[in-house]
Every structure is written in structure tokens, then in C-alpha cells.
Amino acid sequence: MAAAPSAPSRWLFGPGPDLLLGCGLLYALAMVAFSVAGPSIRAHQPGYVVPLLILLLSMPHYGATLVRVYDQRADRRGYVLFSVWATLLVLTAFVVGVYDARVASWLFTIYITWSPWHYTGQNYGIAMLFLRRRGVAIAPAAKRALHASYVLSFALTFLIFHGSFGTLSYSPDATGDGIAFLPLGIPVAATRVLFPAAVIGYTAALALAGVLLLRAGSLRDLVPSALVTLTQALWFSVPFGLRFWDLRTGVEPLDAQHLVRDYVFFVALGHAAQYLWVTTYYARATRGWSGYGRYLGKTLASGAAVWTLPAVLFAPDALGHAEYGAGLALLVAAAVNVHHFILDGAIWKLRQHRIASILIRAVPADAAAEAAGPGAAWLRRGAWSAACAGLGISLFVSWATYFGYPAARARGDFTTATALLDAMSWLGRDSSKLRLSLGASRERAGDAEGALREYARAAQLAPGFRPHVAAGRVLARERRHAEAAVEFEAAIALAPSSEKIPRAAATAWLRADEPARARSVLEAALARSPDSAALHESLARVAMQLGDVEVAVAEYREAFRSDPQRVGTGNDLAWILATSGDPGVRDPEESIRIARQVVAATKERDPNALDTLAAGLAAAGRFEEAVAVATRAADLAATRGSATRDEIALRLALYRAGRPYVAPRPPAPG
């Protein structure tokens, strides 16, 4: 005769673990601490804390589902639609997404949209679990009202994500480029009606569920489920409600802008801890249980592997093209999470007899279901070897990123720092950001060749203008001006709207004795930014070097017209108009007018501006005024110890002799 099943406990692990982990009380307590001292805590929080928590909590929570589905042959066969075919579909989408940003963006959008629903479904299931374990007789109306409150809580998030008035990312890995969230673009008018309606419905459903449940059970029986419902509100309803109405409470974890920027990791970690809590209890209640250490080790290894191995296979040096921090991480996150959501939706349902018999009624799993063998020994050993390799890679990358590399760089051991980054490149985790920082350190230490190697690797990993600008800067300092100009031109192609980079390229070409190429670079930049005063001024100076004074004057005029506050530009223009030996260029009256503007802008304290005004007056034949102004310029230059004082004195002598100053003729064009 079979023994009667034991009566279920009111708790899974006990009131402490259940309230803190399962009901989200630990998350609430953490948020209270952050509400009181959030900026201070984050300022003193080491950079490795969140990644370490992700490694120890988030990765195992994915692994828990993988172990549940794939560890036993019976489960693999029972869920073959999801364990094989749905998995192949997600894998195919991932591989296509590696090469097609549009597919990657849609996969990412599905992940971001589904993620709050996944969290919501888990919270609702745990709320129902505690009600049933306490023997609360849940009337159909109460169940529907409670379920409606959770669904409407998710609806608030959905409307924020997909409303056309703006989107809000919700991802623990929201970094990188090339992958975009693609909102549905719900019209503003519709969102402004639907969102308040959802809030009203959510509040009403929550109140109705509370009233009906209080009739069915005591307040003590409802506390765990109420805490789970509060967690749901703290994760979604409250912050996204504040977001919609653009309200600021001053409580950082609740204000949506702070939630996304600083606290979204903790929402994900709270969910992961909750998931591990319930899945560990289920695993412990099955006949195959072999202890917490072995089980949690398996979940950690399998979770780390599914996150790590795709990055190794599709790294830029292997089958992919985007580095981990510039798109690949988001794509891996999207694929892993969507796969997790599919498997989770298939296996963790309280209405399934096997799940309910353990989580609600505390009946051990059916021995027959546990008796099936694990499958081919070689396949099992291979799978777990790969999982352990993935865990090893994750541990090494974490150590290298947050400890090994920073320590080597800080002590100036650039050889070790480079070796660590090279090792990470074989594991799919090389970083253009770290390469740029190491290149800057080598540059400051005077290691030009080492800096150039790091910048070249950064450009190879994530094509962008910064590595080329940095390399151009090093080459220019090394007087390798033609090579510097080539790097700057590569940067221009990647940042065509920049004004500074074309000017740097032009300067490099000038110093390489290639003024024609400098002019070509600036003319192309002006075609893109025709109102740039800086570019017009740079082209004017290049034209002067080429001897094309008319072009120089035209460009100086455009520069001064675009920005009359550029007194240096005005001074250069006035000087040419006053001192040019070409009658077609010289215009003393315009020179005087512009020079007076410059003198006024410099409050008559710039000897160069006064020198230019004096030259214009002399060119107009007004020598008495020119002498007075030039005298003031000479006195100021002498007081300041300016190198131009002797030149001003020579011109002053010309004016006293009734002769204007004419600048030497520049070289002929070309």
C-alpha cells in the first residue's frame, strides 16, 4: 500500500528565503537602501559587482531551464517541439541576425517586449502558488481579477515601449551599436487614452482581487502573495506610470529614468533569484536530486555556456563581424532570452500535474518519469564538457576584464595587458574600448608603435572614427604627416559631419607639403557643411599657401559672415585687404571697417588687431591716424613682450614716412 502524500508546507524553503527571494522582499529592501543613499552606494560600488551578480544569479537562472529540459532523456523527448525545433528556429534567427542587423533588431525587439511578460507570468504563478499552498479557496472571480491585474501591469509597460511618443529600453545588457529596438509606434492619441484606461483597470482589478481574497483567507495567508504583487508593481506599474506622466518622485529606483539607467540590472537580478529559488525547490523534490552544490554547479555551467560559446563562435576573428560590445552581446542576449522564454512557457506551468504535484502538493515526482536514462554517455560527457568550458571562459573573461587587465594597465605593464586582450580575442571578448584605452596609455608612455598597434586593432574590431583619429594624432606627433593625413581621411569617411577631423587632415597634408590635397579635403568637407566658419577659415589659409589670394579672401569673408565673433578670422581678412600687392584684392575701406570691428571686440587691447587697423588706414592714405594706432600697437606689444613688436615698429616707420605696408607676394597658385 502506497504511503499517503504528506501535507504541503506553507513555505518552500521557509519564511526567510521565501519572503526574501520568492516574494521579492530582498529587492524591496535593496531599493529602500538605494532610495536613501543611491548616489553614494553607486559611487562606491566596484565595477565588477553587477557583472559578478549576473554570473552567479542571472546565468544559472537560464541554466536551470536548460538542465530541466535537456538533462534527462524523458524531458528532452517530452518537450521535443521546444527542445529541438523551437531551439533550431531561435538558433537560425541568431545566425541570420549576426549578418543582418534588421533580423537582429527584430529578435532584440521580441526579447525586450517579451521580457516583462515573462517576469509578470512568473510573479503571477508564484502568487498563486502561495495562495494554494495555504489552502486559500480561490473563487474564479478572484482568480480572474488577480490575473487581470498582472496582465494590465504588463500592458502599461507594453504601451510605454511601443507608444509613438517615445520608447524606453528594458534590458540588462543595453549596450552596443547596430541593433535597434523597433517599436510598433502606437499613435500618441491612442496611447493617451489606453494608458490611463489600463491604470484604472489595473487599480480596479487589484482592489477587487484583494477584497475577494480577504473573504477567502486570512490576512496572514495573503501576505506572501501580496508581497509578490507589490514586487510586480515596483518592477513595472509604478515606474512606468511615473514615466508616462513624466513625474519625478525623487526616489531613484521608482523614477523610470533612474530605473533604466541605474537599476534595471537589479530588476533582472531579482527575477533571476526568484527563478532559481523556485526551480531549485522543484529539483530538490525530484528523485534525481544530488545536492545543492551539484545542482547549482550544473545550472551555472550550462547557463554560462549558452551565453559564452555563441560569442566565441561568432566573434569578429571567427564567423562573425561585430565585437561583443558592439552588437554581438545584445544579439546573444536576445537569442538566449527568447529561447529561455519559450522553454519556460512550455515547462513551468502550475496546471501541469507533474509541476503542481511538487510545487503545490509536495508530492515527489513520478519515479517512472525519472527512470529514463540520460542518453548516450558520449553525448552527455561532451555536453557537460562544453558547459564547463563555457564556465571557464566566463570566469577568465570576468577576471581579465575587471581585475587582470586593469591591474596590468595601472602598473604600466602594457605587455601583459596586451596579452590578456589577445587571449580575450580568442574567446570572443576582445574590446575596442579597452584597446583604445590601452593605446592611450601607451601613447602617454611614449610608446608610439605600441599605441598604433592598439588603435589599429580597435579599428578592426569596431569600425569607427575614434581609433583613426587617435592613430592620426600619434603619427602627426611622430612627424609622419602623410600617414597621419591618411588616418584622418579614414576617420572622415566614418564621421562625415565632423568639422574638426577634416581640419586635422588638412593640417597634416600641409605639413606633408601636399597643400593641394589639403584643399581637396576641405572643399569636400564644405560641400557637406557649407556654413562652417572653421572650415571656410581653414580653406582660406590653405589657399594663401597655394598663392590663391582671391580664393583666400572669399573664404575668409564666408567664415566671418558665418561667425562674426571669430575675431582672428576678421583680423586675417582685414590684413589681406590692407596689405595685398594685388590691386584687385586690396580694399582699404573694407579693411578699416572690419578691423574696427575686431578692435572693438578685443577692447583695443590686442596689438595685432591695432596693427591691422593701422595697415588699413595707411593703405587708405590716412597716415596720421595710422601712426597713432600703430604707436598704441607698438606700446602694447612692448608691454606684453610680443614677438611682433619689432615688425610693428618697422611698419610704424613706414607710416611716418608716408608709405603703406605691402605684404610680400605669395607664391603662384599650384
Q: Is residue 366's pLDDT more than 70?
A: no
pLDDT > 70 in the chain, percent: 92
- Per the model's pLDDT, the better-predicted residue between 404 and 257 turns out to be 404
Q: How does DSSP classify residue 263?
A: I
Q: Is residue 371's pLDDT more than 60?
A: no
pTM of the entire structure? 0.82
pLDDT of residue 352: 72
pLDDT of residue 547: 85
Q: For residue 175, which phi and psi values (nearest 5 degrees)?
A: -135, 160
Query: With contact defined as beta carbons under 8 Å apart, do 598 and 578 qualify?
Result: no
pLDDT of residue 259: 66
- Per the model's pLDDT, the better-predicted residue between 129 and 265 turns out to be 129
Query: Helix H segments across 249-291?
Result: 256-258, 264-285
Q: Is residue 251's pLDDT more than 70?
A: yes
Q: Which of 165-179, 288-302, 441-455, 555-569 has the lowest mean pLDDT?
A: 165-179
Q: Return the residue matching grid coordinates 568637407.
A: 525
Q: What is the mean pLDDT of the chain?
A: 89
Q: How does DSSP classify residue 163?
A: B
Total number of residues shown for the chain: 670
Q: Which of 74-83, 255-264, 476-485, 611-620 has the lowest mean pLDDT?
A: 255-264
pLDDT of residue 639: 86
Pairwise CA distance, residues 201 & 192, whole Å:
15
What is the mean predicted confidence (pLDDT) over 465-482?
96
Q: pLDDT tens-digit profile of 26-65?
A: 999 999 999 889 889 888 888 899 889 999 999 999 999 9
pLDDT of residue 174: 40
pLDDT of residue 640: 81
Q: Which of 103-117, 133-147, 373-387, 617-631 has the lowest mean pLDDT?
A: 373-387
Q: At what angle do helices 328-347 and 87-99 cross, to 10 degrees?
A: 170
What is the mean predicted confidence (pLDDT) over 150-167?
86
Q: Return the residue matching grid coordinates 559564452.
A: 308
Q: pLDDT tens-digit profile of 90-112?
A: 999 999 999 999 999 999 999 99
Report in angstroms the alpha-carbon separations of 127 from 14, 198, 239, 300: 16, 21, 21, 26
Q: Is residue 365's pLDDT more than 80?
A: no
350 pLDDT tier (thresholds 50, 70, 90)? low
Q: How does DSSP classify residue 97?
A: H
| CB-CB neighbours of 590 under 10 Å | 16
Q: For residue 163, which phi and psi values (nearest 5 degrees)?
A: -75, 145
- Per the model's pLDDT, the better-predicted residue between 177 and 519 turns out to be 519
Contacts of 94 (CB under 8 A, 6+ apart): 107, 310, 331, 332, 334, 335
Q: How does DSSP classify residue 255?
A: S
Q: pLDDT tens-digit profile of 291-346?
A: 999 999 999 999 999 999 999 999 999 999 889 988 899 999 999 999 999 999 88
pLDDT of residue 288: 77
Query: With contact defined as beta carbons under 8 Å apart, do 181 and 167 qualify?
Result: yes
Q: Domains along the chain?
A: 15-375 (no CATH), 464-558 (1.25.40.10), 564-670 (1.25.40)
Q: Is residue 85's pLDDT more than 60?
A: yes
pLDDT of residue 422: 96
Pairwise CA distance, residues 318 & 325, whole Å:
16
Q: Is residue 188's pLDDT more than 50?
A: yes
pLDDT of residue 4: 40
Three-state DSSP class for residue 26: helix
What is the mean predicted confidence (pLDDT) over 161-176?
56
Q: Is residue 72's pLDDT more than 90?
A: no
256 pLDDT tier (thresholds 50, 70, 90)? low
